[in-house]
Chains A and B, each alone.
Chain A
Amino acid sequence: MKLIAQATRGAIGIALASLLAGCATPPPKPLYAWENFPRLQYETLVPAETTPDEQITQLQLQAERAAVAGEALPPGFRAHLGMLYLSAGNQAEASNLWRAEKVAFPESALYMDKLLNRLGAPDTKQVKQ
């Protein structure tokens, strides 16, 4: 009897613990490698906090770390970095990155195509078989 009572008490304890844990455990792993990306977007919106060149360096390093870790870059990351390259005068890299945004997130295709057209480098349409 005593054993059973102990076992029951143990089971209740575990149930309580897992219930409490259930309250506080959201999904385990984030979908994307964010690092400082929200902050850098803020600094682009609030002028003169960081220069495009400083941001490009930071974001390139972030992209390398994410690649090594096998993590995905957030939506808008490539698009934002492309814009920075454009403001630093590197049109070719801007269009590469906007194409990359479109590949990673096809939801952005219409908008990215508009931006690419404005760059004067119409997207070479890839014919899908």
Chain B
Amino acid sequence: MKTRKLFSSRTGVVLALAILLQACATPPTPYDYSAFKQARPASLLVLPPLNDSPEVNATAGVWAQSVRPLAEGGYYVFPITLVAETFRQNGLDNAADIQEVSPQKLHEFFGADAAVYIRVIDYGTTYKVLSSDTRVAVEGKIIDLRSGQLLWQGQAAASSAEQQQNQGGLIGVLVAAVIKQISDTVTDAAFNYAAIADYRLLGAAQPNGVLTGPRSPHSQQAK
């Protein structure tokens, strides 16, 4: 009797462990990283994001927040403000025209290994009778500028409607900024949610996310 009882409780523990492990690490379907791993990009040119939202500052907000997750992921990220200036001096003022420039031209001019193409789906705050909801949704892809090949694509969102829990690391800092801002103003709420959405889209160690680059101590690119 006693041994059987012991056995069953151990089974319970094993099951609990299995469930926990699964909760930690269930990727939807494993992403095919073969092209990414073969290309091994070291430098990324983030192009100004296309904007499907009615908010005029969405392109700037999502663009400015895209640099940190990629750089912390181990990539050199080209200076977006200078890049914007360079495009402007070449007569390219809007994101749609810039995202049409051929990969070869971008590679020749900037010397970037790959470019990041982002589209903003949602950006801003909607006001309801009793509450407001701030939401940022983005999708992105990385294209190798040397071959024109698609290396990765994904999508992510962040919203004030979701439960913001205690989280460590960079995402914890980003969430803290959102919580702090509640006591400040609501005007720039979307800019802070853009940080979270961009981190979920482009940050390292996201399920099916961007692989870490050569400047990361945890680089996932084969040496």
Which residues does B use to contact A, with CB under 8 Å?
13, 16-17, 20-21, 23-24, 42-43, 57, 59-61, 63-65, 67-68, 71-72, 74-82, 84-86, 109-113, 166-171, 191, 195, 204-205, 215-218
Contacts and interface: CB of A to CB of B under 8 A. Distances in A.
B168 A26 contact: yes
Contact of B65 (A16, A38, A80, A114): A38
Secondary structure dominating the interface of B: helix
Contacts of B17: 15-16, 19
Contacts of A79: 79, 82
Given A16-B20, A19-B24, A26 B109 contact: no
26 contacts: A15-B17, A19-B24, A24-B166, A24-B168, A26-B169, A26-B170, A30-B170, A31-B71, A31-B72, A41-B64, A41-B80, A42-B61, A42-B63, A46-B57, A75-B77, A75-B78, A76-B81, A79-B79, A80-B81, A83-B85, A101-B79, A107-B113, A108-B76, A111-B109, A111-B110, A111-B112
B83 to A, nearest CB: 8
Given A15-B17, A107-B42, A23 B78 contact: no
A109 B110 CA distance: 9
A54 to B, nearest CB: 15
Given A25-B169, A42-B60, A80-B81, A30 B72 contact: yes
A3 interface: no
B60 to A, nearest CB: 4
Given A38-B65, A110-B110, A80 B82 contact: yes
Interface in A18-44: 19-20, 22-28, 30-32, 34, 37-39, 41-42, 44
Interface residues of A, number: 40
B82 A75 contact: no
